[in-house]
Structure 1
Amino acid sequence: MVHNAMLHFEWHEFVLAALAFVICAAVVLLRSRFPRLSGRTADLRAVQSMHTRLTPRVGGVAIFGALGLSVIFAPVSISGPYANFVLATSFLFVVGLAEDLGFHMSPRRRMLAAMGASLLVIWLLGVWLPRAGIPGFDLLVAHWVIGVPLTLLVTAGIANGFNLIDGVNGLASMTGIAAAIALSYIAELAGYATMVHLSMMIAAGIFGFFLLNYPFGLIFLGDAGAYTIGFVLSWFGISVLLNSPDVSPWAILLTLYWPVADTVLAIYRRSRRNKDVSAPDRLHVHQMVMRALEMCILGRNRRQIANPLTTLVLSPFVIAPPIAGVLLWNQNQNAFLAVVVFGVLFFGSYAAAPSLIRRFRLPSGYNRL
C-alpha cells in the first residue's frame, strides 16, 4: 500500500524539483542585474572558501520554496501540523538568508535561530526526540527536562553540520538527497506512509537545486539552504521515531552520518587547538580530499576540476552509512555497531590523511599542507 502511495506522488516530486530548478536558474540569470545575488568579494577571501569566482549563495530560496509548496501536496491527515512545521522552519530560513544576502549573522546567532526554530516546533506540535536507543537513558529522554534540550542539540547540530559540509559543489545537496531517500525507505519499511511522501518531496526539491550546483557550481546553498535541509531532515528523523517504535535511533543517525561526523570532528579539532568551536578553518574532510587531489594527482591551479571531483570521490563514503541505516532500520544493536565502525573509518582515515598526502604528492605540488 505504501509503494502504491509513492507512485501516486511521483508527479508532485517532479513539480517540486522543477520549481527548485527554475528558481535557481532565475537567480543565476538575474545575478548581474541584482549584485547582492552575486555573492560578496569577501566570500572569496574567507578562510574556508573553496571557489574562485563570485557565485550566488541564495540557493536556499529554492529549497525553502519547494518545502513551502510541499505543504499543498502533503497528506491531508497531517497538513495542519506540517504547515506549522514549515512555519517554524521559516524562522531559521530567514536568519540564514539574511547572512547570505550580506547582513551579518554570527555563527552563534544562527545556532540560536536553529534552536529557536526547534522550540517553535516543540511548542506548536508538542513533540520531541522520543528515544536515543540507549537502554535506561531512553526513560529519561521521554521526560521533557531531558528530551527537549537533547532535541535542541540534535536538530541544531545537524542543521549546522550541513552548513559545515557545504564547501564543495554538490556535497551537501547530495548528502541531503541520500538522507531523504534513506528516511523514505525506512518509513516505508516501518509502514509510516506519511513520511515516505514528505521525504521524497524534499529529496526532489534538493535535486532541482543539485542540477545547477553540480558540477559547475553555478549557485550555492548558502546558510539558508544548508541549515534548512539539515533542520528539516533531522525533524523528519524524529518524526519517524515518534510514529514507528520499531525503528532504531542509530539507524536514523546513519542516514545523517556525514554531517554529524564532520561536526564532531570539527569540535574536537578546534577544541584541541584552543580555538572557538565556531571558528572556520580549512581542515574539513572535503577540503583535505580536494587538496590531496590537487597535490597528488591534478597539480596546482586545477581547482575547477578538483572541486566537483572531490564530491565524486567522497560519494561512496557519504552514501554508505544511509544504506546501512536502511538495512539495519529495526536492529538497534547492529545499527549502533555500524555507527562505531563508520566512526573508526572516518576518524582513522582523517588522521592518516596528512602523512599520505605528503608521501604521494607531486614533485611540483605544494610545499606543505
Structure 2
Amino acid sequence: MHSEVAQLFRYSLGFIAAISFVACLCIIALAQVFPWLCGRRDDENAVQSMHSRPTPRIGGVAIFFTLALGVVFAPTTIVQSYLGVIIATTLLFLVGLSEDLGFRVSPRRRLLAVCVASLVVIVLLGVWLPRISMPYFDLLMQYWIVGVPFTLLITAGVANGFNLIDGVNGLAALTAIGASVSIALISLQAGYDTMAMVSMMLAAVIFGFFLVNFPFGIIFLGDAGAYTIGFVLSWFGIAVLIDSSQVSAWAILLTLFWPLADTVFAIYRRSRSKKDAMAPDRLHFHQLVMRGLEICILGRKRRRIANPLTTLVLAPFVIAPQVCGVLLWDHNRAAFFTVLAFLAVFIASYLVAVPAIRACRQRPQEA
C-alpha cells in the first residue's frame, strides 16, 4: 500500500492543490464584478475584525468544491464513507456560506448545524467517537446515549475552533494543513493507509487556498470554509480511532490542539466575565499577538505587516503539539500529559501576554 500512497503523492495531490488554487483565483475575479461576494459592508467594523478592506469571504466555496471532487480520487475502499461525510458537510457548508454572503446566521445556529451534520454522518455510517482513551469511561462510549453526545461535542468544538482562529492570514489554513498531515502520518503508522491518502488530499485542498490567502489575505476562508475544514478534520480523526485501537485519542487531540484550546479558553474567559459564551471579542491569542506586534514592535498603522507576521510567530506553537501527536500516536499516557503540558503553556503565555501588551501601551504616556 505504501507504493499506492507514493503514487497519490506524485500525481493526484498536486492536481488537487492546483484545482483549489485556481478556484480561489476565480472567486477573487468574480468578487471584482460582484462586490456582494465580500459579505456585509459592516464586516470590517466588527469587534473581532482584523482586516480593513473588503475581501471575498467565500474561500470555503473553493475548499468544499475541491473536497467534493475528491470523491474521484478517494481510495475505492472508503468512497462510500467519504461520500457520506461530504453529504453531511453540505448542510454545514450552506449555513456557513449564508453567513459569509451577508445573511446573518447566529453562532448558536451555526453550532446547531454542526451537530445536525454530525448526526447525519452517524446515521449514514452508523459510527461515532469510539473512545476518549480514559479507563472505564471508554466502556460507556460504545452506548449511543454516551457516545453520540460526546461526538457532537467534539465535532462542534473542532469546527467552531477553526472558525475562531480564522482571523489572521494563513493561521487557520496552516493549522489545518498541519493537522491533516499529522493525521495522515498517524494513520500510516497505524497501518490505515487509505485514511493517510484521504488526509493528504485534504492537506492538498487547503494548501491550494493557503497559497492565495498568505501572506496578503486577498481571500478568506469565511465561516463556510472554516467550519467545513474543522468538521471534516474532526471526522477524519474519529475514523482513525474507529479503525485503529492502538491510536491514542489524546494523540489525535494534539493534532487539533490549537483550535480546541482557543475555544475552551474563550468559553472560560467569557463565562468568567459573565459574557455570552458565543459573543465575539478581540481577546483570542492570535489577536493579542497581532496587537502586541503593532504596539510593541511595528507601530500602530502596520497591520498589513503584523497580520501575516502573527501567523509566522504562532506557527511553532501550532505545529509543536501536532508533531508530538505523531510521535506519541500509541503512547496514551504520554500523550495525555503532553496535552496538559501544552494547555499549561497556552494559558501561561496568554496570562503573560496581556500585561506585557498593556505595559507597552503605557510607555509613550509615561514618557
What is the TM-score normalised by the length of structure 1?
A: 0.97
| Percent of residue pairs identical | 61
Quick check: 1:299–1:362 contact (8 Å CA) kept in 2? no
- Deviation of 1:326 after TM superposition, in Å, equals 0.2
- Deviation of 1:77 after TM superposition, in Å, equals 1.1
1:252 is aligned with what amino acid?
I
1:25 is aligned with what amino acid?
L
Q: Report how many residues are paired.
A: 365
CA distance in 2, matches of 1:311, 1:78: 34
Quick check: 1:297–1:362 contact (8 Å CA) kept in 2? no
Once the two structures are superposed, residues 250-302 of structure 1 have per-residue CA deviations (whole angstroms, 9 ceiling, x without a partner) of 00000000000000010000000111100000000000000100111001100
> Could you say which residue in structure 1 is the equivalent of 2:221?
221
2:97 is aligned with what amino acid?
L
1:69 is aligned with what amino acid?
L
Of stretches 353-362 and 253-262 in structure 1, the one that deviates more from structure 2 is 353-362
**What does 1:43-192 align with in structure 2 at a 5 Å threshold?**
43-192=43-192
Quick check: 2:38–2:101 contact (8 Å CA) kept in 1? no
Once the two structures are superposed, residues 193-212 of structure 1 have per-residue CA deviations (whole angstroms, 9 ceiling, x without a partner) of 11110000000000000011
> Could you say which residue in structure 2 is the equivalent of 1:206?
206
1:351 pairs with 2:351: yes
CA distance in 2, matches of 1:103, 1:291: 30
> Could you say which residue in structure 2 is the equivalent of 1:231?
231
Of stretches 353-362 and 171-180 in structure 1, the one that deviates more from structure 2 is 353-362
CA distance in 1, matches of 2:192, 2:359: 50
CA distance in 2, matches of 1:362, 1:309: 23
CA distance in 1, matches of 2:349, 2:84: 42
Quick check: 1:292–1:361 contact (8 Å CA) kept in 2? no
2:277 is aligned with what amino acid?
V
CA distance in 1, matches of 2:362, 2:323: 35
CA distance in 2, matches of 1:362, 1:220: 34
CA distance in 2, matches of 1:197, 1:138: 28
> Could you say which residue in structure 2 is the equivalent of 1:248?
248
CA distance in 2, matches of 1:47, 1:247: 40
CA distance in 2, matches of 1:252, 1:290: 28
Once the two structures are superposed, residues 78-120 of structure 1 have per-residue CA deviations (whole angstroms, 9 ceiling, x without a partner) of 1122112111111101110111111111111100000000000
Once the two structures are superposed, residues 177-233 of structure 1 have per-residue CA deviations (whole angstroms, 9 ceiling, x without a partner) of 000000000000000011110000000000000011100000000000000000000
1:5 is aligned with what amino acid?
E
> Could you say which residue in structure 1 is the equivalent of 2:6?
7
Runs (5+) with no aligned partner, structure 2: none
2:8 is aligned with what amino acid?
F
CA distance in 2, matches of 1:195, 1:32: 38
CA distance in 1, matches of 2:49, 2:92: 23
Quick check: 1:328–1:334 contact (8 Å CA) kept in 2? yes
**What does 1:313-352 align with in structure 2 at a 5 Å threshold?**
313-352=313-352
- Deviation of 1:170 after TM superposition, in Å, equals 0.4
CA distance in 2, matches of 1:136, 1:80: 33
CA distance in 2, matches of 1:84, 1:264: 29
- Deviation of 1:139 after TM superposition, in Å, equals 0.5
CA distance in 2, matches of 1:157, 1:354: 25
> Could you say which residue in structure 2 is the equivalent of 1:298?
298
Once the two structures are superposed, residues 150-181 of structure 1 have per-residue CA deviations (whole angstroms, 9 ceiling, x without a partner) of 00000011100000000000000000000000
Computed over aligned residues only, the root mean square deviation of the Cα atoms, in angstroms, reads: 1.2
2:7 is aligned with what amino acid?
H
- Deviation of 1:35 after TM superposition, in Å, equals 1.6
Quick check: 1:60–1:97 contact (8 Å CA) kept in 2? yes
- Deviation of 1:142 after TM superposition, in Å, equals 1.3
CA distance in 2, matches of 1:36, 1:329: 45
2:233 is aligned with what amino acid?
L
SS at match of 2:33: coil
CA distance in 2, matches of 1:126, 1:311: 38
- Deviation of 1:363 after TM superposition, in Å, equals 4.2
CA distance in 2, matches of 1:202, 1:76: 17
Quick check: 1:295–1:362 contact (8 Å CA) kept in 2? no
Of stretches 76-85 and 314-323 in structure 1, the one that deviates more from structure 2 is 76-85
CA distance in 2, matches of 1:105, 1:345: 34
- Deviation of 1:362 after TM superposition, in Å, equals 8.0
CA distance in 2, matches of 1:82, 1:309: 36
**What does 1:271-282 align with in structure 2 at a 5 Å threshold?**
271-282=271-282
- Deviation of 1:353 after TM superposition, in Å, equals 1.0
1:19 is aligned with what amino acid?
I
SS at match of 1:31: helix
> Could you say which residue in structure 1 is the equivalent of 2:30?
30
Once the two structures are superposed, residues 41-84 of structure 1 have per-residue CA deviations (whole angstroms, 9 ceiling, x without a partner) of 21101000000100000000011011101111111111122112
What is the TM-score normalised by the length of structure 2?
A: 0.98
Quick check: 2:241–2:248 contact (8 Å CA) kept in 1? yes
